[in-house]
Amino acid sequence: MSLAAGRGGVASARGFSVGIGEAGIRESGGPDLVLIESDRPASAAATFTTNLMRAAPVLLAEEALADTGGGARGIIVNAGCANAGTGAGGLDDARAVVAAAADHLGCEPYEVLPASTGLIGSRLPVRQIVDAIGGLRLRRSATASGRAARAIMTTDTRPKQHAASVRLGDGRTVTIGGMAKGAGMIHPQMATMLAFLTTDAPIGSASLRTLLGPIVDRTFNQVSIDGDTSTNDAVIVLANGAVGGPALDAADQRTFADMLEAACRALAVAIAADGEGARHLIEVTVHGAASDADARAVARTVAASSLVKTAVHGADPNWGRIAAAAGRSGARLDPERIRIHIGPVPVYDGNPLPFDEAHARRVLRGRTVPLVLDLLDGEGSGTAWGCDLSAEYVAINSEYTT
């Protein structure tokens, strides 16, 4: 696979455009509304939060995908209000927003998938949003993609987007673009954030669903910032086939799957790196597990550990916290065989090792902190991403509504 990644985002693939508006949802002002449009019917696949307090847009998007069998023309996203914990009224609000977006796109309401992010327990200002949708101008450009990625931010400090193209075996060039948001309330029980990906690849909804679930498990589901699972998690992929030609054959589906996974991984890592108050990205890699699932469980548990996060924040090479997290992960491991490295520094090999503490501290002070575990029990491998836990995180979240 020859993959070319470059500047761009959710409107990079053929046939997709975005509209960005300001509906006055945020108290701070600024753009807070994004409409993603496909100029033709698109296949759709999605994964959503498993939190039982699921937001109205999650319920409505699931319903729409069930009704269409996986088709869509657009996605309407707002920031500043989660529309979660709002009962029947929140569902009515989401339906009104979807109806306005569908009217703007000239399609049926069930062809528009809603998503929201922001404060739980607040109702959407529906009239303001409907008015703003009516004035949206749809554009396709790298600039429009970048503005869309900024418009969906909440406590994020920077936009998160990705675009790449790949040449298929028959010579066609397929493009994928995407954007994501998330910096707090991040702990995967699907994908604790919002992510939207668009592609001009010709692939049906059933095949797209088959690919997306395992990819989300290996990427977005391996991110943890603070251990809290959101009510609004959603990863949505639209594929409109605008590249033309026949549906992807088995070989080209594998090529496309690799590109989709690379896009999801790039967005997932960007979320972990932008954790609220974070100064360090933590990347935990596990080798030698009995299975890939075991490896991912160990990596995810270590990345999510508050004690590991605080040790990284203080540049404290306390490898015991890493070992303890691995031991409670539920994965099969033998404490007398496990090996632990802080970057290139070996610190444990079934027994404590003498190590260069100053070198380990330097690794922990880096922008990216690699932690590596080898369980010496099989061929399974996996990676997870997190960030350090700082006083700034406490300050941000102790004042979130005030």
Residue from 349, 344, 317, 355 nearest 334 by CA: 349
pLDDT in tens, 50-106: 888 899 999 999 999 998 888 999 999 999 999 999 999 999 999 999 999 999 999
Note the pLDDT of residue 192. Answer: 45
| Domains in the chain, number | 2
| C-alpha to C-alpha distance for 277 and 171, rounded to whole angstroms | 45
One domain, residues 250 and 357: no
Single residue among 249, 273, 297 that ends a domain in this structure: 273
> Would you tell me how many other CB atoms lie within 10 Å of the CB of residue 88?
8
One domain, residues 247 and 177: yes
| C-alpha to C-alpha distance for 177 and 167, rounded to whole angstroms | 15
Q: Which residues of the chain have pLDDT under 70?
A: 1-6, 183-192, 226-229, 395-402
Note whether 149 and 177 are within 8 A (CB).
no
Indicate if the alpha-carbon torsion angle 184, 186, 191, 197 is positive or negative: positive
Note the pLDDT of residue 110. Answer: 95
One domain, residues 351 and 373: yes
The CATH number that applies at residue 370 is 3.10.20.340
Catalytic center residues? 192
Single residue among 273, 293, 314 that ends a domain in this structure: 273
One domain, residues 222 and 341: no
Note the pLDDT of residue 18. Answer: 98
Note the pLDDT of residue 190. Answer: 44
Domain ranges, residue 185: 3-273
Note whether 127 and 97 are within 8 A (CB).
no
Q: Which two tokens stand for residue 97?
A: 């927003």
Single residue among 250, 273, 296 that ends a domain in this structure: 273
| C-alpha to C-alpha distance for 347 and 392, rounded to whole angstroms | 30
Please state the φ and ψ torsions of residue 283, each to the nearest 5 degrees: -115, 115
Note the pLDDT of residue 191. Answer: 41
The CATH number that applies at residue 115 is 3.60.70.12
| C-alpha to C-alpha distance for 149 and 159, rounded to whole angstroms | 5
How many Cα atoms are found within 13 Å in the side-chain-facing hemisphere of 124?
A: 35
One domain, residues 216 and 285: no
One domain, residues 268 and 289: no
| C-alpha to C-alpha distance for 147 and 79, rounded to whole angstroms | 13
Residue from 173, 191, 171, 189 nearest 181 by CA: 191
One domain, residues 52 and 180: yes
Note whether 357 and 274 are within 8 A (CB).
no
Note the pLDDT of residue 236. Answer: 97
Q: Cα torsion at 319, 227, 281, 190 (round to 10°)? A: 120
Note whether 300 and 387 are within 8 A (CB).
no
Please state the φ and ψ torsions of residue 177, each to the nearest 5 degrees: -135, 155
One domain, residues 176 and 50: yes
pLDDT in tens, 54-68: 999 999 999 999 988
Note the pLDDT of residue 185. Answer: 57
What are the Cα distances from residue 100, in Å, to 60, 64, 232?
A: 15, 15, 21
One domain, residues 130 and 267: yes
Q: Which two tokens stand for residue 210?
A: 């088959």
One domain, residues 261 and 118: yes
One domain, residues 224 and 287: no
Terminal CA-to-CA distance of the chain, rounded, Å? 49
Under 8 Å CB-to-CB from 93, ≥6 apart: which residues? 56, 83, 86, 123, 124, 126
Note the pLDDT of residue 226. Answer: 67
Residue with tokens 């990676």: 383
One domain, residues 119 and 228: yes
Note whether 268 and 178 are within 8 A (CB).
no
